[in-house]
Structure 1
Amino acid sequence: TVVSLKVDSVPFYLQWIDTPGYGDQVDVRQGFHHIVNYIDKLYERAMEVEMAAVREENRAFEHLGVDVILYFISPHRLKELDLAMLRMLKGKAAIIPILSKADTMTTDELRVFRREVSTRLREQGIETFREPMAIIASPYVVKNAQGESVIGREYSWGVSQCERDSDLPALRRVLIAEGLQELQRSRRRYYEAFRAKKMREMRGNLPSRMFGFALRTALQTLVLAGAVYALHQGAERTGLYEKLDQLR
């Protein structure tokens, strides 16, 4: 999904790539690999464009890749499934953990859960672009206690406002304002790491490719020599050489 908006009168385009059905498969690893392979394919495409004989004038390859992964975590518990996926995404792109449905937790529960997620990720060696951000999202416009129209959710105890009661404004600033250049530098860093790894693999495979080429060449030479020898033997058996001498 491509979203068009303006930031300080400057046109801005965001491409969101959703993953519906993630984690619903019997073998969840299949979903893991689909996501990781998608990111790798973008980096591979960037390498192809960058290393082409005629490079694109607009340097489009610099924009291929994923700027940031917003990984949504269910409220109250961080599952082993989440940690397994985040370990696979580590080193692929900048990661921002999102504590979803933050209005289903009390202030104390949210504080404890945020600390727990940060600790578990650090223990797993999973680097994040920002600390976990608690988000409330809603498609509804409701009236708050002051009678103002706000985006949020209405409960029996009151109204939960997306802008006031969650990290949504901070997340917006990270994505399209103060954190944008840092995200772009981060994407470039992850791409360069991917590129360096691929180049090492290509150099590592070079001796085996050269050996394969030499072996094929040797086999072709042997086949050709065998064919010439067979023709020679056949000519001797049929007296072809003697007949040619008589003709001369």
Structure 2
Amino acid sequence: MSVAEEIRAESYVGFDSITQQIEHKLLKRGFQFNVIVVGQTGLGKSTLVNTIFASHLIDSKGRFTSDEPVRQTTEIQAVSHVIVENGVKLRLNIVDTPGYGDQVNNENCWDPIIKYIKDQHSAYLRKELTAMRDRYIQDTRIHCCLYFINPTGHALRPIDVIVMKKLSEVVNVVPVIAKSDSLTIEEKDNFKIKIREELVYNSIRLYPFDTDEDDEEEVQLNETIRDIIPFAIVGSENNVIIDGKSVRGRRNRWGVVNVEDQNHCEFMHLRNFLTRTHLQDLIETTAQIHYEAFRSKQLLALKEGVNQRPAERQ
């Protein structure tokens, strides 16, 4: 019998309870999930986040009056909340980027966003390399970037291409078409096709990624997600009555958009993707791919700096 051959215990030992032990510790500690939202003012970033997590987590910071000054630079604003659902505690950190893309000249408006994401990697690395490090390092690394695309129905703007390409190198990017109810079904479908073609043409690698560890079910699920991306979404914190039932939606002169109806928009696909199927994978991918690439680069640079110092003294 080979060493790797499975051996069945003759009587019950009890080590199969290790999954319950792990679950108990994880539930007691809770989970951390960090999301950054990027897009122009007025695309409904705050509303969508509040709709996804069924809570009023962030207030709209958009401009509502013509005399209100345009922000001259992209700002970084983070808010934190603890959400509890069926005994599972989620520490949710939402990072907004008001001012992004709102100027006439938007050159380098993405720099503060890239810097913020890299700064979180750097802060985690410093804590990791500390001699007396914490048992559990507070994780502020960004696990997901929701990138909001203006529903023009034509093509991606040059700034969208540049920024998504830069972001995809440091974070998991998930593009969404904001306020998709402003497009007809045909316009929406054609717009999604154009966006996918531009993403491929510009070699923009978006999440989710397939790995060697994925089984057939996970590969198929990721393929299904990639067929939907970018998610055409509508967000709403308001309840409307449809056939005597209260649902979250938007009422306009033509009728009601039911946010949770998959025939109206792809909000449910996005929510399920972020919370029910890929939440843990977003966290792991951040650590194993994006942070690991940053960590390796920093440690190699540190090693090269140390090796150069003796030569300089000679």
Give the TM-score category using the shorter length. Answer: 0.7 to 0.9
**Measured at CA, do residues 171 and 102 of structure 1 come closer, stay the same or move farther in structure 2, by a change above 3 Å?**
same
Residue 185 of structure 1, CA deviation: 1.4
Partner residue in 2 for 1:65: 141
Residue 207 of structure 1, CA deviation: 4.1
8 Å contact kept, 1:142–1:153: yes
User: What letter is aligned with 2:123?
Assistant: R
In 1: Cα distance, 2:297 partner to 2:186 partner:
44
User: What letter is aligned with 1:136?
Assistant: V
Among candidates 154, 164, 167, match of residue 266 of structure 2: 167
In 2: Cα distance, 1:25 partner to 1:208 partner:
44
Residue 186 of structure 1, CA deviation: 0.8
**5+ residue gaps in structure 1?**
216-248
**Count of paired positions:** 211
In 1: Cα distance, 2:87 partner to 2:130 partner:
36
Which SS does the other structure have where 1:70 is aligned? strand
Which SS does the other structure have where 2:102 is aligned? coil
8 Å contact kept, 2:80–2:93: yes
User: What letter is aligned with 1:74?
Assistant: N
Residue 211 of structure 1, CA deviation: 4.2
Alignment pair present for 1:125 and 2:197: no
Partner residue in 1 for 2:63: none
Q: How does 1:102-117 map to 2 (within 5 A)?
A: 102-117=180-195
Partner residue in 2 for 1:49: 127
In 1: Cα distance, 2:286 partner to 2:266 partner:
23
Alignment pair present for 1:29 and 2:127: no
* Structure with the larger helix share: 1
Partner residue in 2 for 1:197: 297
Which SS does the other structure have where 1:177 is aligned? helix
8 Å contact kept, 1:93–1:186: no
Write the deviation string for residues 134-163 of structure 1: whole angstroms up to 9, x where unpaired: 11012322233x233221111221111111
8 Å contact kept, 2:149–2:177: yes
Q: Which has the higher contact order (CA 8 A, sep 6+)?
A: 2
TM-score (norm 2): 0.63
User: What letter is aligned with 1:134?
Assistant: A
Which SS does the other structure have where 1:153 is aligned? strand
Question: Identity of aligned pairs, percent?
Answer: 28
Residue 27 of structure 1, CA deviation: 4.3
In 1: Cα distance, 2:159 partner to 2:167 partner:
12
In 2: Cα distance, 1:26 partner to 1:74 partner:
16
Write the deviation string for residues 221-248 of structure 1: whole angstroms up to 9, x where unpaired: xxxxxxxxxxxxxxxxxxxxxxxxxxxx
In 2: Cα distance, 1:124 partner to 1:170 partner:
26
Q: How does 1:134-145 map to 2 (within 5 A)?
A: 134-144=232-242
In 1: Cα distance, 2:132 partner to 2:286 partner:
24
Alignment pair present for 1:176 and 2:275: yes
In 1: Cα distance, 2:104 partner to 2:186 partner:
35
Write the deviation string for residues 159-214 of structure 1: whole angstroms up to 9, x where unpaired: 111111222222222222211111111111210011111122223333443444x2
In 2: Cα distance, 1:7 partner to 1:123 partner:
41
Which SS does the other structure have where 2:84 is aligned? strand
User: What letter is aligned with 2:255?
Assistant: G
In 2: Cα distance, 1:65 partner to 1:201 partner:
21
TM-score (norm 1): 0.79
Which SS does the other structure have where 2:247 is aligned? strand
